[in-house]
Chain A
Amino acid sequence: MFESLQFSIVDMTPYSRPIYFDMIGLYNKAVWPMHVLAMILMFWLLLISIRPGQHRVSSAFWILGAAWLWTGWIFHMQYYSSINWAGVAFGYLFLIQGGLLLALACIPVTPVWNVSKKWPVLAGRLLLILAIVAYPLTGLLEQRTLIQLDMFAMTPTPTLMATLAFLLLLEGRIKYALVVIPLLWAFISASFAWTIQLLEVYAILLVMFVWLMSMVTDIIKFTMSKLQSKKQ
């Protein structure tokens, strides 16, 4: 069993940086004008995060679910798989996450907003702006052409970052069930990005770090409340 795991990150990145950018360019060209719809969803998600109403949680899950499904089915399975043997498997991972998000959008018991002004909420909002607006533009610093830029709901990294950022805005433990695949993908994606020296590695590491801190905060809070209840 261990034998089959004998491949490294390098083995999983059998393409060069220019070829990766070219592939994104070909994909963006082929799926145009889906970007218009993606842009509408993008601003809708931003609006929801700024003016959170309880009925809007489901809307956000619909948007994120659709983004993961599209990215898995079209980007990974149809395009990325042409340069990476693992593309189809990654596609399934995205489909599962998309399915989970859509399932939560459908059921009546949805997570509630974290209404306090605690730092994870502020960090979540800032990261959402980073994911949707700022991060895709960093591609220009990597000499990508406009058509080779990443975009929320179209390519994996901004979709991943927006999802992790959005989950920070929520209260309750359900968000931990939704974060497993994104964190796993964050690790895989950061590894690829590191191998071919993409700037996204820093963006992903930042989101992962914020999530880690948020989890530590939650664990401390949980432990303190347990200790207090024992004393009482």
Chain B
Amino acid sequence: MGNNKSNRRAFLSKIAGISCLAAWPQLSISSPGNNIIAKKIPASGEVIPAIGMGTWISFNVGSNIQARNARTQVLDTFLKLGGGMVDSSPMYGSAEEVMGYALKRLGTPKPSLFAATKVWTPSAEQGKQQLEDSLKFWGVRRFDLYQIHNLLAWEKHLPILLQRKQAGTIRYVGVTTSHGRRHQELEHIIKTQPIDFVQLTYNMIDREAEQRLLPLAKEKAVAVIANRPFQGGDLFSRLADKRLPVWAKDIDCHNWAQFFLKFIVSHPAVTCAIPATSQVEHMIENMGALRGQLPDHKMRMQMLEYINTV
């Protein structure tokens, strides 16, 4: 979030010294009594927590005050447990407005917040207006990350976003896709355009991105955000009656959410996973994945094998 530059700088410098102790891609951000798993944004070297938060469905609660206050608690929990990136979009109904409500109630500015949203319109002119609206809804002066939603009219929006980046209204520029759609076009954009972030679907079942997109993003120094980390909840349904394997403790996983998330963020090309939830208890579970050991390659294979057998 751009409305408190000095706070952000102080926060980052506080974590930077300790984070240097660990090797890339996995860095460890330390705050008193806590080691947080963090990743570098390749374009700048800035370090962000590896677990973020999505707002799809979960924050679209309209004008329901009770639900808005409940989401405020979810955001508060996320930030208190070391979360950074919050991702939204004008397509998510009232989610941006609700995010602004929650931030206001929590008392902005939040130095650790990494505010990410998107442009979602076929028109360049409307896109400009959408950025202004999003800034107003969130109650921030600039976005840390501004993305082109589902690659919609990306040729029109990208030059404008790059200009905005130069002007300082946004810090990083990205493009997004989900559900494995338009991967070929995404590949073309990563190869040819000066983007900082790419957002795509990656989880223990949807692993198409491992073939070309993740290696390419790593090669081109593009940060990767993994959306749908629980496959829209299907992963939980699939394993509802299954116990976590005993060896999950070796990588500090105490529930399925942590198991799924650690698999994702342990990929060397992945910068951040953005699970969405409307419940504080689930947020606590998710944020547990921000601590402890990450699986190495051998363990990742073991995790996949386990999922495939159950």
Instruction: Report whether B181 and A22 are in contact in the complex, using a CB–CB cutoff of 8 Å.
Output: no
* Cβ of B65 to closest chain A Cβ, rounded Å: 9
A197 on interface, CB distance cutoff 8 Å: no
Q: A19 touching B60 by the CB < 8 A rule?
A: yes
CA distance A22 to B56 in the complex (A): 17
Q: Is B109 an interface residue (CB 8 A)?
A: no
Complex CA gap A11/B182 in Å reads 15
Interface flags, A1-45, vs B, CB<8A=1, else 0: 001101110110011100100110010000000000000000000
List residues of chain A with CB under 8 Å of any chain B CB. Answer: 3-4, 6-8, 10-11, 14-16, 19, 22-23, 26, 79, 82-85
Q: Is the beta-carbon distance between A14 and B64 smaller than 8 angstroms?
A: no
B contact set with A: CB distance below 8 Å = 56-58, 60-64, 67, 90-95, 122, 150-153, 179, 181-182, 278
Q: How would you classify the secondary structure of chain A's contact residues: helix, strand, loop or mixed?
A: loop
| Contacts A19-B60, A82-B63, A83-B61 given; does A14 touch B92 at CB 8 Å | yes
A26 lies within 8 A of B63 (CB): yes
Interchain CA distance A23-B95 in the complex, whole Å: 14
Assess whether B61 is in contact with A22, with CB atoms less than 8 Å apart. Answer: yes
Contact B91 A14 (CB under 8 A): yes
Closest to A12 in B: B91
Chain A residue numbers with a CB within 8 Å of B90 are 85
Residue contact A83 to B152, C-beta cutoff 8 Å: no
Distance in angstroms between the alpha carbons of A180 and B150 in the assembled complex:
31
Cβ of B152: which chain A residues have Cβ within 8 Å of it? 3-4, 6
Whether A83 lies near B153 (C-beta < 8 A) is no
Shortest Cβ distance from B180 into chain A, in angstroms? 12
A16 contacts across to B, CB distance below 8 A: 57-58, 278
**Would you call B67 and A22 a contact (CB within 8 A)?**
yes
Sample of 14 more A-B contacts, CB < 8 Å, known A10-B179, A23-B64: A3-B153, A4-B152, A6-B182, A11-B91, A14-B56, A14-B57, A14-B92, A19-B62, A22-B61, A23-B62, A79-B62, A82-B63, A85-B91, A85-B93
Complexed CA–CA distance, A110 and B176 (Å): 52
Closest to A196 in B: B57
The answer, among B58, B92, B150, for a CB contact under 8 Å with A6, is B150
**Inter-chain contact B150/A7, CB cutoff 8 Å:** yes
Least distance between B277 CB and chain A CB atoms (Å): 11
Smallest CB–CB gap between B233 and chain A, Å? 11
Q: Nearest Cβ distance between residue B133 and chain A, in whole angstroms?
A: 12
A14-B150 in contact (CB<8A): no
B contact residues around A6 at 8 Å (CB) = 150-152, 181-182
**Of B67, B153, B182, most A-chain CB atoms within 10 Å:** B67
- Asked if residues B64 and A84 are in contact (CB atoms below 8 Å), the reply is no
The closest CB in chain A to the CB of B57 belongs to A16
Cross-chain pairs A/B with CB under 8 angstroms, 14 sampled:
A3-B152, A6-B150, A8-B179, A11-B91, A14-B56, A14-B92, A19-B60, A19-B61, A19-B67, A23-B62, A26-B62, A82-B63, A82-B93, A83-B94
A3 near B60 with CB under 8 A, answer no
Within the complex, the shortest CB–CB distance from B70 to chain A, in Å, comes to 11
Whole-angstrom distance between the Cβ of B112 and the nearest chain A Cβ: 26
Q: Could you tell me if B93 and A4 are in contact, using CB atoms closer than 8 angstroms?
A: no
Most buried by B among A8, A14, A79: A14
| Cα-based distance from A16 to B64 in the complex (angstroms) | 13
Q: Which residue on B lies nearest to A23, using beta carbons? A: B62
Across the A-B interface, the 5 shortest Cβ-Cβ residue pairs: A82-B62, A4-B122, A83-B93, A83-B62, A14-B93
Partner of B64, one of A4, A10, A11, A22: A22
Beta-carbon contact of A82 and B94 below 8 Å: yes
Q: Which residue of A lies closest to B94 (CB)?
A: A82
**In the bound complex, CA of A144 to CA of B34 (Å):** 43
Query: Which residue of chain B has the shortest Cβ distance to A79 in the bound complex?
Result: B62
Q: Which residues of B contact A22 (CB under 8 A)?
A: 61-62, 64, 67
Report the bound CA distance from A82 to B58 in whole Å.
14
Q: Which of B58, B60, B122, B152 is most buried by chain A, counting CB atoms within 10 A of its CB?
A: B60
Report yes or no: B60 in contact with A15, Cβ–Cβ below 8 A: yes
Partner of A3, one of B58, B64, B122, B278: B122
Q: How far is the CA of A23 from the CA of B67 in the complex (A)?
A: 11
Residues of A within 8 A of B60 (CB): 14-15, 19, 83
Residues of A close to B61: CB separation below 8 A: 19, 22, 83
| Assembled-state Cα–Cα distance A85/B92 (Å) | 7
Once bound together, how far apart are the Cα atoms of A85 and B182, in whole Å?
Answer: 23
CB distance from A104 to the nearest CB of B (A): 35
